[in-house]
Amino acid sequence: MVHFVYDGSFEGLLTAVFDVYEGKAERAQLFSIKTYQPDVFAERRDVFTDSVKANRVWKGLFRKSSPQGLLNVYSVYLSERTDRETLLLAFFRRVFAESVSIEDDFSSPLIVQISQISRQIHREKHRFEAFVRFIHLKGNIYFASIEPDFNILPLIGPHFAERYADQRWIIYDTRRQYGLYYDLQQVQEVYFEAVPDSLVLDLPSDQVEEDEALMQQLWQVYFQSVNIVERKNMKLHRKHLPIRYWKYLTEKKI
């Protein structure tokens, strides 16, 4: 058994797939360095992330995939599942082994599982396009913190950049401790040095714009007023709006 250990990046993962093929390693397994546990019975080979190699693998996939197929692969990567490397390697092996596109082969458990993971990620992406709540900070930046189950920031960035093209914003993932910052030109990744949770959730009032408190109140008033008491259905409410998101939602903070 040969263990290919890459740096945890998506490019690294694609490079690893390239190396597996180049090394003609039949009994290969992929591991991210971030979770790798050395094994004395296996040979370890370190993968050096190489964008030329990564690109060749991506292009190879591109030729045999629909945009959805490409998105599925990226989604499995973003899922942070412990078996994501195993799933993806098996998937690439099938893609490159067959002459026809296998994307729609829903009789294969592997394809079904990958499309399920992708759907899950997509649902999470869709949720956070909805559940981000910006707070208007002094200095005219709109700031939001989120805590998604999967690493969906890279997927939601383009949506917010298009929608809020004329305002500067930051969306910060408190679990993975990095954020996206849009400066009216482009979106970039940002890191903060040790942000305490309390600050992320409860910004001190001297840091927020004057209009912020009133707008939050108005939004809460609105949320209360549109509820139809006669139709109350908390089970349905929690199904659509799982409790774990509440602490980040302005309307649920009261």
Amino acid at 85: E
- Outline where 39-144 has alpha helix (H): 51-63, 67-78, 84-97, 109-131
Which residue stretch of 28-36, 74-82, 83-91, 225-233 sits at the interface with another protein (rule: CB under 8 A)?
Answer: 225-233
181 near another protein, judged by CB under 8 A:
no
24 near another protein, judged by CB under 8 A:
no
List the one residue out of 169, 123, 119 whose CA is nearest residue 142.
169
**Candidate residues 33, 221, 244, 247; the one interacting with another protein per rule CB under 8 A:** 221
201 near another protein, judged by CB under 8 A:
no
Tell the smallest beta-carbon distance from residue 149 to another protein (Å).
18
List the one residue out of 228, 221, 207 whose CA is nearest residue 250.
221
Which residue stretch of 34-42, 89-97, 198-206, 245-253 sits at the interface with another protein (rule: CB under 8 A)?
Answer: 245-253
Question: What is the strand order of the sheet 168-173 is part of?
Answer: 135-137, 141-146, 168-173, 178-182, 187-190
| Strand pairing class (187-190; 28-32) | unpaired
Residues numbered 96-125 forming contacts with another protein, rule: CB under 8 A: 104-109, 112, 116
Q: Tell me which residues touch another protein (CB under 8 A).
A: 104-109, 112, 116, 126, 129-136, 139-140, 142, 144, 159, 162-168, 184, 210-211, 214-215, 217-219, 221-234, 236-237, 239-241, 249-251
